[in-house]
Amino acid sequence: MAPPAVKYTQIFINNEFVDSVSGKKFATVNPTTGKKTAEVQEGDKADINKAIKAAQDAFKLGSPWRRMDATGRAALMNKLANLIERDVEYLRDLEIMDNGMTVQLATGSVMGCISFLRYGAGYADKLHGKTIPLDGDYFCYSRYEPVGVVGAIIPWNFPCLLMGAKLTCCLTVGNCVVVKPAEQTPLTALHIASLVKEAGFPPGVINIVPGYGPTAGAGLTESMDVDMVTFTGSTEVGRIIQRAGADSNLKKVHLELGGKSPNVVFADCDMDYAVETSHIGIFNHSGQICCAGTRTFVHEDIYDEFVKKSKARALKRKVGDPTCEGTEGGPQIDQEQLDKVLELIESGKSEGATLQCGGKRLGTEGFFVESTVFSDVQDHMRIAKEEIFGPVQQILKFKTVEEVTERANKTTYGLAGAVFTKDINKALTVANTIRAGLIWVNNYGMFSPMIPFGGYKMSGVGREGGEDGFKEYCEIKTVVIKVPEKNT
């Protein structure tokens, strides 16, 4: 398949495409080939400040955006969703070229962006406050108000989907936003910028500034004029962002971070289904999913058979050119991730886990890793503790429900988890005991804009998605009105 022509490479501020203040550009690379695909204007603090100013102006009282009813916002969001749908194939191909994800995943990423926008459009006029039966002669009500200017920092693993999620949360409740796409994957965001203009959003409501984290990203997190930052990415960077919020204006910070999710498989499960679903739960997107089921705990009675079948499945996995029909897994995003995954695989071998299959780089072009399965994994090993973000399955053995829930929770992360069993009691015990934001029972990875998603512990702060997700992007105002003495 011929790579798509890149149309937009400039910074988007106030509905205009502009060059960076510094005149600098950076290259995007196709992870499938390792070759350069485009040169994008590199936003820096100066560009971020211009974008913040545009967003502040768009948020001013009396501005077209602030005067717009929720119904009007919803109409614009639906229009944007329709335009993205019109360009779905082009956006899909850009996403594949930028990120290396398969056709199926890239379609899902773009369709997910559309679903988020439509879900938010349906919710925009349903953001109800409360009336509060306050003691005394008062009438009291609360209302949800937009926080103001939101800085949205996007990771590279699902660029379109995650920008869609953050844009939706911002727009549904009436915020203005400055988006900083990941430096590896800015292209779909910039095409969507052109659609923002075409849809007719007022200038400054949505601004998109590509650039690097420590410069452009930090420009948002350290700003005194940004009211909230929403970030999806690594726990390490999440910590920097929360600190930057504290050191500047104590802005609201929403963080969706890393994970090391447990996937508990009991002996009474449907074995072939559990093997297949656990395989997808870790190998999907070459393991580059924050809620991947990277610790597969399997009951001792079925352990050997489960390992055998998981190895056979991994050996069958088709890894290669993501544009080809039938390819199940593409490359890692870049050289740095490739090196990190290979280093962790080496640590698994040297710490005594049994390498069932894989373990090496695949080919010499692009950033591919063989589908890798480790058995006899112990809780103390690095591969059982650290987020690998690669196609590497760890299979651990357990005996009892009490033991496995305790071990599943022995992690600094708490993003997701799963359990496979036909016994409702076991399912509920595990679901209720694991300290994580999303638990799947007899499935792995079901997502929807309707689901509040986010982490316990060091997997994050706050939720995105569902009604709770929208409220995260609001301030709650309470109004107390003195009324005449009660006579009823």
- Give me the least distance between CB of 171 and ligand ADP, in Å please: 20
140 is annotated as an active-site residue: no
Residue 211, strand partner residues: 43
Largest CA distance in the chain: 83
Give the integer Cα–Cα distance in Å for 209 and 180. Answer: 5
- Catalytic: which of 113, 269, 290, 474? 290
| Angle CA 231–235–239, to nearest 5 | 75
* Closer residue to ligand ADP, CB minimum distance, 12 or 306: 12
Q: Nearest 5°: phi and psi at 7?
A: -100, -35
Kindly tell me the burial class for residue 242, based on how many C-beta atoms sit within 10 Å of its own C-beta (0-12, 13-18, 19 or more). Answer: middle
Instruction: For 141-187, give the DSSP string.
Output: EEEEEE-SEEEEE--SSSHHHHHHHHHHHHHHTT-EEEEE--TT--H
DSSP state of 10: S
* Closer residue to ligand ADP, CB minimum distance, 283 or 306: 283
- Give me the least distance between CB of 368 and ligand ADP, in Å please: 18
- Give me the least distance between CB of 421 and ligand ADP, in Å please: 32
- Give me the least distance between CB of 235 and ligand ADP, in Å please: 8
Which strands form 176-180's sheet, in the order they lie side by side?
A: 16-18, 11-13, 206-208, 176-180, 149-153, 228-232, 252-256, 460-461
Give the HSE-up count for residue 409: Cα atoms under 13 Å, Cβ half-sphere.
Answer: 14
Give the integer Cα–Cα distance in Å for 216 and 223. Answer: 11
Three-class secondary structure of residue 395 per DSSP: strand
Residue 296, strand partner residues: 263, 395
Tell me which residues touch ligand ADP (CB under 6 A). Answer: 153-156, 180, 182-183, 212-214, 217-218, 221, 233-234, 237, 240-241
Which residue type, as a one-letter code, is found at position 303?
A: Y
* Closer residue to ligand ADP, CB minimum distance, 156 or 374: 156
- Give me the least distance between CB of 182 and ligand ADP, in Å please: 4
- Give me the least distance between CB of 236 and ligand ADP, in Å please: 7
* Closer residue to ligand ADP, CB minimum distance, 383 or 388: 388
290 is annotated as an active-site residue: yes
- Give me the least distance between CB of 181 and ligand ADP, in Å please: 6
Which residue, 418, 442, 451, is CA-closest to 261?
418
- Catalytic: which of 95, 256, 370, 464? 256
Residue 461, strand partner residues: 255
| Angle CA 462–468–474, to nearest 5 | 80
* Closer residue to ligand ADP, CB minimum distance, 405 or 411: 411
* Closer residue to ligand ADP, CB minimum distance, 42 or 328: 42
Residue bearing tokens 């509040």: 452
Residue 152, strand partner residues: 179, 230
- Give me the least distance between CB of 304 and ligand ADP, in Å please: 35
* Closer residue to ligand ADP, CB minimum distance, 144 or 212: 212
* Closer residue to ligand ADP, CB minimum distance, 212 or 447: 212
Residues marked as catalytic: 256, 290
